[in-house]
Amino acid sequence: MTPCECSAPHDRRRIVLTGGPGAGKTALLELIRQSFCSHVAVLPEAASIVFGGGFPRHSDAGCQRAAQRAIYHVQRQLENTGDSHNAAIVLCDRGTLDGLAYWPGAPGDFWAPLGSDREQEMVRYDAVIHLRTPTADLGYNHQNPLRTETAARAAEVDDLILRAWDGHPRRWLIESSTDFLDKAARALDALRGELPECCRGHEVPSVRDRVHQQLSGGQSPIS
């Protein structure tokens, strides 16, 4: 993140960046880190912390339920860390409602042991930016080692996430296209619109240049 001359207190806005597998979140988050000021706090993905740290990832319902509850608790504590600094935006790599897309049962069974419900979780987030999962012909792949879904399953999960956040009053749906740069630019524009005026003065570098830099370093723009 680039330094920011603004030192005034900010009214923190918590924003979710979500989407199905392969939607491009990883690449977009890297662009955000390089392009926006230090008052945009980018949180890591709770699921990557949980599974990357060795949490069992089995297909039976019992393990799936345990994993999603673990992810929920990690997500909530990550958000607490973001709130502890003078951030204008706390950008969450997924939010607590994403767990509904991976939950093997009725939504009420997910919320009850957590002492919450969908409505309470929805109002925690000021905005949602949803990157839609591309089809196989638009770039879906398995280059992320933590990604296990087929293209068909990825599309199904994307639709479940869409339903999980249905009804949020401030949501952007960023559809896939043959050019990822166009998709990234639309998402960056949505996020930029959420910044306070004091932080909007930073010049966002060319999205195309940023992605080309990633490609020259051997990184995939779709992750």
Give 87-105 pLDDT, tens digit per residue: 999 999 999 999 999 999 9
Q: For residue 25, what are the CA distances in angstroms to 4, 40, 188, 199? A: 24, 16, 12, 23
Q: For 127-159, write each residue's pLDDT tens digit.
A: 999 999 987 655 555 555 555 567 788 899 999
Neighbours of 147 (CB within 10 A): 13
pTM score of the predicted model: 0.85
Average pLDDT of the residues in 7-12: 83
Residue type, 136: A
Domains along the sequence of the chain with CATH:
13-207 (3.40.50.300)
- Let me know: does 176 contact 133? Beta carbons within 8 Å: yes
Predicted pLDDT of residue 100:
96
